[in-house]
Amino acid sequence: MKTLIELKNVSKEYHTGNHIVKAANQLNFTIDKGELVVILGPSGSGKSTLLNLLGGLDKVTSGEIIIDGENITNFSDKKLTQHRAKEIGFIFQFYNLIPNLTACENIEIINDIVDGNIDGKEILSQVGLSQHANKFPSELSGGEQQRVSIARAIAKKPKMLLCDEPTGALDSNTGRIIIELLINLCKNENTTVIIVTHNSEFAKVADKVIHIKNGEVESIETNENPQPVDAINW
């Protein structure tokens, strides 16, 4: 498979007075196009920092992040904003839907960001929610809201989806539906999906597992035979 993401000696430091916190320390790894990657680590291990760096929400202190052949560490703020808007989809634990817009409108609002003509109802049909297009977030279950947020994220056909604990607020049955949907995006759309979580069970379904501890890559596992989503114990 083609390499989509490459990190070369990536570090991120935060300064508090005379104290330096290395939230990311000399990270080196690659992620291929169409891979489902799980980044595992306990709270405070640097997972969120890594997600922010991959998403261009934060800048490295040193090192390089290469995405699809482009070194995003050299991007200006304007170009980085354009990169996020067009190339990356974000899915969070809490759905970040706009409460006074319908499900369809929550998706079509990204037409103001990307130069496209996205049909919200068509995208909702991809996540099995076309019948709820005119409902407001308050009229949807938690799982349905998360599916709307995924629909919004994939509407612009991003190169990668960055998911921060995407099932953390969901029950086990709904969580399985969400993970199955993300797996299918990898298989059917060749989208690279990166899930940041503390739940080691997600490693079972991943193509690659990156273990993070104290801001460093502790180990990387490649899973030749990912298990079906039913193998996850919730």
* 3-state SS assignment for residue 161: strand
- Has residue 199 been placed in a domain? yes
Residue 217's CATH number:
3.40.50.300
Low-confidence ranges of the chain (pLDDT < 70): 115-116
Integer Cα distance of 88 and 84 in angstroms: 5
Domain count, the chain: 1
Q: Tell me how far CA of residue 97 lies from CA of 28, 30, 106, 157, 163, in angstroms.
A: 34, 32, 7, 19, 15
Q: Report the pLDDT value the prediction gives residue 86, as an integer from 0 to 100.
A: 84
Question: What is the dihedral sign for C-alpha 228, 91, 121, 175?
Answer: positive
Q: Report the pLDDT value the prediction gives residue 195, as an integer from 0 to 100.
A: 95
- Has residue 16 been placed in a domain? no
pLDDT in tens, 107-137: 998 887 776 688 999 999 988 899 999 999 9
- Has residue 82 been placed in a domain? no
pLDDT in tens, 146-171: 899 999 988 888 899 999 988 888 88
- Has residue 48 been placed in a domain? yes
Residue 182: which domain range? 35-60+88-231
Q: Report the pLDDT value the prediction gives residue 139, as an integer from 0 to 100.
A: 97
pTM comes to 0.90
Q: Report the pLDDT value the prediction gives residue 234, as an integer from 0 to 100.
A: 78
